[in-house]
């Protein structure tokens, strides 16, 4: 019990601290690739602290859903993080739920965020909610197929079991089914985290925004919680990608030296994945909303091929 609590505390701290860093790294790398100087890597931390100290404006039209949503978003993202192996193969709360619980907990956060978008009565909020629910809905089948393919390889939906089985056969990611599933999940993660070509996190242009439209009315600490929660969600999804497919360096125990090595490899893998995301974001233009289903259909087909190849190879 105390051991689980200690592990949870450590991992929670890691989640809270690394999540803004990853956002910062992606932002900086993207700026460099576009030959801009861009903000400092630590800028997201400064933004969060500044937002937390500010006052906030609550729309007259909003109900209790509006203040509740930031908490739900933040808390579900954090819990999902505790179910995912980050530096060590056994995640602190992996008993509480596996990959299916992860998907549905993130959906709970999204549910409340979409409600809060509608709660203010402004049409931007409704527009964002509608688009967010649409994209997440059509991303879901592809995600589930890819999850099926990975879960079959590990014979479990438990994330720690998945990581353990990946560690035990560390070159498995070269198997066609795993590579196809990785490609499918990569597209889904791009869509779920609201990155180009699906959504542009940097835009406030009404015709294109999705996530930003939903949270348009938030300010101050609530906005900080939502931004932080979103970056934790992004970190968790990236962690899922790197640790289930490329388990190198995952520590099997929780001693200090093992943790140090695990942390080093973990951050390295995150950096590499961030580079991939930056490349995708820089070389692609944002798609029209009604082109997104085609992209996700590609992910679906990749997922289906991954499944079929599990019993061909």
> Directed axis angle between helix 176-192 and helix 292-312, to 10°?
160
Q: How many residues does the chain have?
A: 313
DSSP bridge partners of 251: 88
Q: Does 201 bind other proteins (CB under 8 A)?
A: no
| Contact characters 143-182, other proteins, x per CB under 8 A | xxx--x--xx--xxxx--x---------------------
Say if residues 225 and 70 touch (Cβ distance below 8 Å).
yes
Q: Min. distance of Cβ 29 from other proteins in angstroms? A: 27
Stretch touching other proteins by CB under 8 A, among 120-128, 190-198, 239-247, 250-258:
120-128
| Residue 130 per-residue DSSP state | H
Q: Min. distance of Cβ 112 from other proteins in angstroms? A: 9
Q: Does 57 bind other proteins (CB under 8 A)?
A: yes
Q: Which is nearer to other proteins, 189 or 278 (CB)?
A: 189
Report the residue from 36, 46, 53, 288 that binds other proteins according to the rule CB under 8 A. 53
Q: Min. distance of Cβ 164 from other proteins in angstroms? A: 10
Report the residue from 7, 31, 39, 59 that binds other proteins according to the rule CB under 8 A. 59
Cβ-Cβ contacts under 8 Å for 215 (sequence gap 6 or more) = 113, 116, 117, 128, 223, 226
Q: Min. distance of Cβ 260 from other proteins in angstroms? A: 25
Instruction: Return phi, psi of residue 88, to 5°.
Output: -120, 155
Q: Does 19 bind other proteins (CB under 8 A)?
A: no
Report the residue from 89, 120, 231, 244 that binds other proteins according to the rule CB under 8 A. 120
CB count within 10 Å of CB 136 equals 18
Report the residue from 34, 61, 168, 169 that binds other proteins according to the rule CB under 8 A. 61
Q: How far apart are CA 193 and CA 277, in angstroms?
A: 11
Q: Does 305 bind other proteins (CB under 8 A)?
A: no
Q: Min. distance of Cβ 216 from other proteins in angstroms? A: 6
Map the footprint of other proteins across residues 211-230, applying CB under 8 A.
Answer: 216-217, 220-221, 224-225
Q: Does 141 bind other proteins (CB under 8 A)?
A: yes
Report the residue from 60, 257, 285, 312 that binds other proteins according to the rule CB under 8 A. 60
Q: Which is nearer to other proteins, 287 or 308 (CB)?
A: 308
* CB crowding 240-274: b at 16 or more within 10 Å, else e: bbbbbbbbebbbeebeeeebeebbebbbebbeebb
Q: Which is nearer to other proteins, 74 or 265 (CB)?
A: 74
Q: How far apart are CA 98 and CA 161, in angstroms?
A: 9
Return the structure tokens found at 29: 């790398």
Taking Cα atoms as reference points, which of 191, 214, 43 lies closest to residue 112?
214
Q: Min. distance of Cβ 74 from other proteins in angstroms? A: 5
Taking Cα atoms as reference points, which of 209, 213, 191 lies closest to residue 123?
213
Residue entry with tokens 């560390």: 170
CB count within 10 Å of CB 34 equals 11
Tell me the number of residues near other proteins by CB under 8 A: 91
Q: Min. distance of Cβ 294 from other proteins in angstroms? A: 10
Map the footprint of other proteins across residues 228-287, applying CB under 8 A.
Answer: none
Q: Min. distance of Cβ 105 from other proteins in angstroms? A: 6
Q: How far apart are CA 275 and CA 242, in angstroms?
A: 13
């Amino acid at each position: 019990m105390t051991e689980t609590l200690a592990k949870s505390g450590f991992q929670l701290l890691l989640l809270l601290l690394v999540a803004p860093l990853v956002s910062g790294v992606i932002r900086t790398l993207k700026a460099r690739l576009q030959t801009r100087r861009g903000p400092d890597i630590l800028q997201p931390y400064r933004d969060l602290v500044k937002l937390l100290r500010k006052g906030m404006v609550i729309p007259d039209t909003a109900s209790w859903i509006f203040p509740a949503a930031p908490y739900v978003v933040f808390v579900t993202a954090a819990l999902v993080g505790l179910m995912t192996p980050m530096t060590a193969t056994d995640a602190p709360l992996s008993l509480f739920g596996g990959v299916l619980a992860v998907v549905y907990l993130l959906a709970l956060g999204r549910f409340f965020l979409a409600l809060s978008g509608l709660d203010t009565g402004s049409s931007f909020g409704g527009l964002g909610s509608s688009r967010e629910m649409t994209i997440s809905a059509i991303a879901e089948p592809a995600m589930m197929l890819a999850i099926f393919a990975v879960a079959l390889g590990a014979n479990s939906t438990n994330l720690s079991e998945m990581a353990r089985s990946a560690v035990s056969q560390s070159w498995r990611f070269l198997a066609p089914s795993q590579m196809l599933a990785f490609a499918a999940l990569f597209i889904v993660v791009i869509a779920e985290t609201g990155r180009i070509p699906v959504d542009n996190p940097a835009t406030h242009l009404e015709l294109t925004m999705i996530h930003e439209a939903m949270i348009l009315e938030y300010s101050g600490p609530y906005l900080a919680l939502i931004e932080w929660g979103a970056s934790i969600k992004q970190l968790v999804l990236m962690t899922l990608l790197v640790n289930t497919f490329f388990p190198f360096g995952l520590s099997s125990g929780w001693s200090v030296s093992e943790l140090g090595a695990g942390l080093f490899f973990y951050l390295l893998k995150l950096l590499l994945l961030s580079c991939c995301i930056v490349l995708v974001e820089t070389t692609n233009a944002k798609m029209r909303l009604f082109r997104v289903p085609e992209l996700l259909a590609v992910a679906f087909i990749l997922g289906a091929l991954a499944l079929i190849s599990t019993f061909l190879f």
